[in-house]
Amino acid sequence: MYKVLIVDDERPVRTAIRLAGEWEKLAVSEIAEAPEAQTGLQMLEAWKPDIVLVDIRMPVMDGMEMLRRASARHPEVKYIIISGFDEFEYARQAIHCRVLDYLLKPIDKVELNRALSEAVRQLEEERKVRELEQQQRMMSNLSMPLFKEKLLTMIIDGDRIHPPILEDYKRLTSITKQHVLYGCAIVQVLNFDEVCASRFKGDSFSCYFALTNMIDECCAPWSQGFSFRSYKTDHEIIAVLEMGTGPDPKVFSAAKITEMLHSLRTLFGFVAIAGIGGFSASFEQLGESYYEACAIKSSINILQSGNRVLTEIQAGRKAEMYSIMNKKELLLRAFESGNIEFTRGIMNGYFDLIQQTGYFSMDDARKSAAEFILMIEDITVQLGIAADSPCKPVSCGTAPVHPSFEDFRGFVFRVISLVFDRIQTGLKDSEAFNIIRIKNYIDDHFFTDINLAMFSEQYYLSKEYLSRLFKEKFGFGIYEYVLKVRMDRAKELLDDPSIKIQLVSSKVGFNDNAYFSKAFKKYTGLSPSEYRSLTLQSKKSI
């Protein structure tokens, strides 16, 4: 919908135009009037009409002066002159003021609507052109970063790129300058999840978008680079840098990226570290710079909190002798004992040994975390959790990046707690039936040779844990319960005087009569014969 402003000092003329215009057909929704040029200029500024009809002859300021001022400030408006004077000079001046048409008074309805229709047509065409240009800009803004990200990723990965595509990219991104060096910086955000949750309501896309935009803005004054999210490592940003051949590019970029990390922390709360690879005049050698930057970043000593922007690989005394795999047997016993504090104490001892070395890199933490996961999974198997058992803990997955020693320590403790709880919960949920089955088996086979190992092997449970579960459920250890069932059955048999004590002994699982008598007396306080005599006397007295 369009707006029309009529500027004329004669009210009848303004009224005639209002009545003659086919406004609804022309999609004109609003019409305003100004009685003189100065008011017309003010309304043009404030109301912003699309079409302005201007009288030439007006007091104080004539229409030509208004048109000169108006067209200079608002060239997009369509201007139509209305005048009672058919003079060529006015028409010539009107052309210079970008006037669309020149109408003579009295206003002819047909001519007025023809001029208005042409104004609307031009406005509509210009609107379509603007929308098309805006769509093209939007597509360019969306597609160009994706194109750059895809192509740079391919170069870094060493994929072969069709030469014309590479040349098009260089042309579009102006990578044709002389004396320019190209390199990669890897920025690892340490608290991405925390910032994403608190600042971006958990929207990781928006968080990455803000992060890469901020890095690009910080790098723009000194490097016409481009940053994008890495899909190899979580919370990692790859920044492709362009540097002049003047100062040492590594030293200069390290200083600038240090400032950039400070800005990221100040504005968004991001805490990050960075590694910077070498620079080369060949754009196609970015892959070498990327992998050097990765190695430098991975070598950062996470036992220290010093410089977090590095240009060279760090080195130190390795803690290889303190492999986490050396703790496997201790951890196995700790899980069997069901004591999580004992388990944590074992790992704290391991952490203390690492800290004594003074050097533990991000790569060391990654490898140790991967070994730890494998060890934990192996421990669950040794605990007797069958491969097809529904209570087997799920895999903890691949080891994440650990940019600080506290983060690595926290990861280990979280896995211990998770797996410990899953094992305990899983066994309790699934073994209630098994424990009853063990009890039922004892009740039915108490006279046979029963030992803990047979149940441990049958139900894939450690002896210690199985015995503890049985006692928690029934109040007796397994051996205690076997003895109880045998003694209770022996009492029943001794109540019948026709059954010899030696037969009673064999019926309740004792091959040695003397051993049975000793066990019975220890359990009841009476020998089998004393128990029988006492029972018979009790029956006679009744």
Cα 188 to Cα 300: distance, rounded to the nearest angstrom = 11
Chain centroid to CA 342: 34
Question: What are the E-state strand segments in 140-271?
Answer: 180-189, 226-229, 236-244
The whole-number pLDDT of residue 124 equals 94
Chain centroid to CA 100: 57
For residue 270, give Cα distances in angstroms to 209, 264, 373, 520. 13, 5, 29, 74
Measured in Å, how far apart are the chain's first and last C-alpha atoms?
114
Cα 425 to Cα 338: distance, rounded to the nearest angstrom = 12
Cα 203 to Cα 66: distance, rounded to the nearest angstrom = 53
| Three-state DSSP state, 495 | coil
Residues sharing a CB contact under 8 Å with residue 258, sequence separation 6 or more, in sequence order? 309
* Dihedral, CA of residue 137, residue 143, residue 148 and residue 150, to nearest 10: 180
| Three-state DSSP state, 97 | coil
Count of beta carbons in the 10 Å neighbourhood of residue 349: 12
Residue 442 tokens, joined:
């004892």
Burial class (CB in 10 A: 0-12, 13-18, 19+), 163: exposed
Q: What is the 3-state secondary structure of 384-417?
A: CCCCCCCCCCCCCCCCCCCCCHHHHHHHHHHHHH
Question: Which amino acid, one-letter code, is at 189?
Answer: V
Residues sharing a CB contact under 8 Å with residue 96, sequence separation 6 or more, in sequence order? none
Question: Would you put residue 200 in left (φ > 0), alpha (ψ -120 to 50) or beta?
Answer: alpha
The whole-number pLDDT of residue 132 equals 79
Cα 381 to Cα 61: distance, rounded to the nearest angstrom = 97
Cα 300 to Cα 313: distance, rounded to the nearest angstrom = 8
The whole-number pLDDT of residue 462 equals 67
Residue ranges, the chain, pLDDT below 50: 142, 174, 176, 319, 386-399, 431-433
Residues sharing a CB contact under 8 Å with residue 13, sequence separation 6 or more, in sequence order? 55, 82, 105, 107
4, 122 in Cβ contact below 8 A?
no
- Tokens 């006037």 locate to 99
The whole-number pLDDT of residue 261 equals 92
For residue 453, give Cα distances in angstroms to 235, 343, 508. 49, 25, 21
Number of helices (H), then strands (E), belonging to the chain: the values are 20, 10
DSSP state, residue 174:
T
Q: Compute the C-alpha angle 10/12/92, nearest 5°.
A: 55
- Tokens 């410990």 locate to 420
Residue 76 tokens, joined:
């997009």
The whole-number pLDDT of residue 319 equals 45
Q: DSSP labels for 443-472?
A: HHHTTS---HHHHHHHHT--HHHHHHHHHH
Cα 489 to Cα 443: distance, rounded to the nearest angstrom = 10
pTM listed for this prediction: 0.50
Peptide bond into 106 cis (omega under 30): yes
275, 300 in Cβ contact below 8 A?
yes
The whole-number pLDDT of residue 79 equals 94
